[in-house]
Amino acid sequence: DQQVKQNSPSLSVQEGRISILNCDYTNSMFDYFLWYKKYPAEGPTFLISISSIKDKNEDGRFTVFLNKSAKHLSLHIVPSQPGDSAVYFCAATYLGNEKLTFGTGTRLTIIP
């Protein structure tokens, strides 16, 4: 039962353009969502998060949007840079659960 889904296994974007990574979830209890970035042979690195009381959170080039009614969130990276090439994981949790439920990841490639 995949409660967090990232339906695009890969995405290629031109440098300088916007990268949009999508994530859907099925568990209505989830109230806190995170994005992690992972380079090969390294652990995931926290990028940005959003609470369900918000619909948008911005940090520099990264913005996460949450649509609770659609159970959908997205990560926007603008402008995209070569160093953004990595695998991006969406994760979700809820108060009292603590553990993170991860999606399967999207491999983002930024084309110079």
- Residue from 27, 74, 81, 101 touching another protein (CB under 8 A): that is 101
Per CB under 8 A, does 86 bind another protein? Answer: no
- Euclidean distance between CA atoms 54 and 67, whole angstroms: 9
- CA distance to 17, 55, 73, 101, per residue, from 70 (Å): 26, 12, 9, 18
The binding track of 46-75 with respect to another protein, each residue x by CB under 8 A or -, is x--x-x------------------------
Adjacent-strand bridge partners of 17: none
Binding site for another protein (CB under 8 A): 6, 31-32, 34, 36, 41-46, 49, 51, 89, 93-96, 98-105
